[in-house]
Structure 1
Amino acid sequence: MGRLRAGPERDLIDDYLLRFDRTGRALGLGPIDVREVEDRKGGGMAAEAVLLEKALPNGAAVIALDERGKIKSSPDFASDVARFRDDGRSDLTFIIGGADGIEPSLRAKCDASLSFGKMVWPHMLMRVMLAEQLYRAASILAGAPYHRA
């Protein structure tokens, strides 16, 4: 949910997504398509859920980014990305909800729920962290050394 304006966060995201594309292409990952959804009418979580569902690609594996989700290590996240790819899921979609989170019925439809910790993160930082972890996952799957191995 929401739109990200030009600035340092956008620059970081663009950098990590470019790195992901360069690394992931040979692994059958990518390209990444960022779809921004905005609830201009202010309808709350229910309205956001409708807009988010409309933006989901057909047949996509959907992962909700939510503080109640499962906390994973970077290698475990990389394994999940590879598993979805190897299971033939052509699209892997991550949902970042609005200020109030993701509507419970939409969260229940997701294939998985992932947390980046018990703290709530600003939307723009979640995007940066997700982009970095996607790049890190591609690097791990490509056999690059991982600093915590």
Structure 2
Amino acid sequence: MHLCAVGRIRSGPERALVDDYLKRFDRSGRALGLGPVAEHELEDKRGGGREAEAELLARAVPAGALLAVLDERGRVMSSPEFAAVLGGWRDAGRSDVAFVIGGADGIAPALRARADFALSFGQMVWPHMLVRVMLAEQLYRAASILAGAPYHRE
């Protein structure tokens, strides 16, 4: 799996949370045929806006990878539903999945239109750095659900 995101998370609480949840996902996900997650942090140093960020993001997505964007217009789902989606991709032989998180202005429409899947964490707009933390936690939660571990309780 790939987590392709605009912006770099420097040391601090967000970095610690992302690292912790991705490490947990790596440990539990490998046994399930999920992961590890490769993190791709991208910066548009020229200030070209969403379109320039979209170019950087598109280049970071491996050829043939399923493109999953995090977008407020995406599908809102429960954690068990998200786990089922990940398990379904795995069972269908999708060896590469790239989760894409745009910058502060979101994902350019052209890249969003190319996506195979769009996920939303609700109608509220979240800072893109927090979305990365939330995605990392949900990946770990999904692996826990698929493993039947007690982390997730309904």
After TM superposition, is the score higher than 0.5? yes
How far does residue 77 in structure 1 lie from its aligned partner after superposition?
0.2
One-letter amino acid of the structure 2 residue matched with residue 142 of structure 1: A
Partner Cα separation in structure 2 for residue 82 and residue 61 of structure 1? 14
Partner Cα separation in structure 1 for residue 60 and residue 97 of structure 2? 13
Instruction: Render the CA deviation track for 1:60-97: whole Å, top value 9, x for unaligned.
Output: 11111001111000000001111111111111111111
Partner Cα separation in structure 1 for residue 52 and residue 17 of structure 2? 30
Instruction: Determine whether 1:25 maps to 2:48.
Output: no
1:10 to 3, 11, 15: 15
1:72 corresponds in structure 2 to: 77
Of stretches 101-110 and 138-147 in structure 1, the one that deviates more from structure 2 is: 138-147
Partner Cα separation in structure 2 for residue 138 and residue 63 of structure 1? 17
One-letter amino acid of the structure 1 residue matched with residue 153 of structure 2: H
Instruction: Render the CA deviation track for 1:3-60: whole Å, top value 9, x for unaligned.
Output: 1100011111111111101111110111110001110000011111111111101111
Instruction: Determine whether 1:141 maps to 2:146.
Output: yes
One-letter amino acid of the structure 2 residue matched with residue 83 of structure 1: G
Residue pair 1:68, 1:113 contacting (<8 A) in 2 also: yes
2:3 corresponds in structure 1 to: none
Instruction: Determine whether 1:111 maps to 2:116.
Output: yes
2:51 to 46, 53, 57: 46
Determine which structure has the larger strand proportion and give its number: 2
For the aligned residue pairs, the C-alpha RMSD in angstroms reads: 0.8
Instruction: Determine whether 1:88 maps to 2:104.
Output: no
Runs of 4+ more than 6 Å apart: none
Partner Cα separation in structure 2 for residue 56 and residue 14 of structure 1? 20
Structure 2, unaligned runs of 5 or more? 1-5
Q: How many residues align?
A: 148
How far does residue 100 in structure 1 lie from its aligned partner after superposition?
1.0
How far does residue 147 in structure 1 lie from its aligned partner after superposition?
1.0
Helix, strand or coil at the partner of 1:27: coil
How far does residue 144 in structure 1 lie from its aligned partner after superposition?
1.5
